[in-house]
Structure 1
Amino acid sequence: MKKQIYLIRHCQAEGQEADAPLTEKGYIQAIQLAEFLSNMKIDRIISSPFLRALESIDPFAKNNSLDVQIDHRLAERALSSISMPDWLEKLNATFNDMELKFEGGESSKEAQARMLEVIDEVISNDIENTIIVTHGNILSLLLNYYDHHFGFEKWRSLRNPDVFLLQHTNNTCSIERVWQK
């Protein structure tokens, strides 16, 4: 069975906290995202519990009378529980060393593994077309699993929102960026 999984990075938000809402521009982006997805057959939506992810997919879900299933494994990766002024350098290092872990955070390998659990469950069920709404860092780690060249610099090039299509057919996966805005 062919599976299509739309991997969506949330729209522009006011911050990084779990309860950070979308900005005014982010709400406009969410409407544009709904329009972009409107011609696609979607059977299910799974989202991070973070407010910015839920608000990003809300217009599409409402327009299509689809429920949004929350999956905590789609939450953004915690790099550390302490403030790190050099967090960009630290994040870069975690793309080079997938086992690297900072105080109170999770390694790239750990975050990637929880994202892959969700993907494996989506692939193994009978639903054909799924949307997954998540965050830039954890999405980058998933993309890195399929394309080892997807690292820190490609993470930096992600947009808000961004959409990738993962297609799974006969145990083969392909990924392409489909958001052209």
Structure 2
Amino acid sequence: MSSTFFLVRHAIKEKAIGDVSITTEGNLQAQLTARWFCNLQIAAIVTSPLKRAKETAEPIAIKTNATVSEDSRLRERANWGDLPEQTFEEFIDMWQRCTRDPEYIPPVGDSAKQAGERLCSLLLELSKNHPTGSNIVLVTHGGLITDFLVQSFSEDQLNVWHPNFVAVQSNLVPECSITRLSYVSGHFELGSFASVEHLKP
């Protein structure tokens, strides 16, 4: 049994609290990303329920004629605005503590470990429910991608993609980057990480 997953971080979003949309520049990124996928046969697109992810997934669906579904397991571990009256500085402090200590459960959202586990559960479910050889796009968030990778691969494996991967993980996944992951014979293989080649003119 094998499936190929394309983990897409959402496009550039508005700098504001809550469930924000993507910007004009982000929309261009989403269109370029959709163009890259149009030459692949996509079995399904699954997106985080947050606006920035859904708006990134929409042009991919149009270009590939694939159906989009939402799954809360693709949500970020926490979103600024989930905790009433939390300042941005307080949110960043909470985020950084979660990154340093994957077991730490914040006052809102999930620990890094819990977030990575829920993405893993979705990947396994999708692999089971789709035919061998399926290409599946997941539009999600940068932190969730690295939460999953840090738990699923050894530090040595991850350092192939970037030195000190674990220490600098929060800065490694640009908007609309594509990480290609395969699930083959019961284990995950990382084919590419945070590629942005498709965004270049």
State the TM-score, normalizing by the size of structure 1. 0.88
Q: CA deviation at 1:9?
A: 0.4
Instruction: Provide the residue aligned with 1:97 in structure 2.
Output: 101
1:126 CA drift (Å): 2.5
Give yes or no for the alignment of 1:142 onto 2:148: yes
For the residues of structure 1 that align with 2:28 and 2:66, how far apart are their CA atoms? 20
CA deviation vs aligned residue, 1:127-162 (integer Å, no higher than 9, x gap): 411111111111210121223434351221210111
Pairing 1:72–2:89 present: no
What secondary structure does 1:168 align onto? strand
Which stretch of the first structure deviates more once superposed, 1-10 or 94-103? 94-103
The reply on whether 1:40 has 2:44 as its aligned counterpart is no
SS of corresponding position for 1:160? coil
CA contact (8 A) 1:162 1:179 kept: yes
Runs of 4+ more than 6 Å apart: none
1:5 equivalent in alignment to 2:5 = yes
Would you say the 8 A contact 2:41–2:64 is kept in 1?
A: no
Deviates more, 1:151-160 or 1:20-29: 151-160
2: CA distance between counterparts of 1:39 and 1:18?
Answer: 34
State the alpha-carbon separation in 1 of the partners of residues 121 and 20 from structure 2.
26
**Other-structure match for 1:115:** 119
How far is 1:116 from its partner?
A: 1.4
The more displaced of 21-30 and 88-97 is 88-97
Q: Partner amino acid for 2:25?
A: K
Q: Distance in 1 between matches of 2:70 and 2:43?
A: 15
> Counterpart of 2:54?
54
Q: How many equivalent residue pairs?
A: 181
SS in 1 for 2:181: strand
Q: In structure 2, what is the equivalent of residue 81 of structure 1?
A: 83
Q: Secondary structure at the match of 2:168?
A: helix
Question: Aligned residue for 1:19?
Answer: 19
Q: Name the CA shift for 1:164/1:16 in 2 (closer, same or farther; >3 Å).
A: farther
Alignment pair present for 1:162 and 2:192: no
Give RMSD over aligned pairs: 2.1
**Distance of 1:179 and 1:146 partners within structure 2:** 23
User: Residues 73 and 15 (structure 1 numbering): CA distance in 2 closer, same or farther, change over 3 Å?
Assistant: farther
In 1: Cα distance, 2:14 partner to 2:172 partner: 19
Q: Where do 5+ consecutive residues of structure 2 fail to align?
A: 156-164
Any unmatched runs of 5+ in structure 1? none
For residue 113 of structure 1, what is the amino acid of its counterpart?
E
Q: 8 Å contact 1:15–1:21 — kept in the other structure?
A: no
| 1:179 corresponds to 2:196 | yes
> Residue 137 of structure 1: SS of its match in structure 2?
helix
Identity of counterpart residues, as a percentage? 25
The aligned amino acid for 2:186 is N
Note the C-alpha offset of 1:45. Answer: 0.4
Please, what TM-score do these two structures have when normalized by structure 2? 0.80
Instruction: Give the residue type in structure 2 aligned to 1:81.
Output: L
Is the 8 Å Cα contact of residues 18 and 51 (structure 1) preserved in structure 2? no
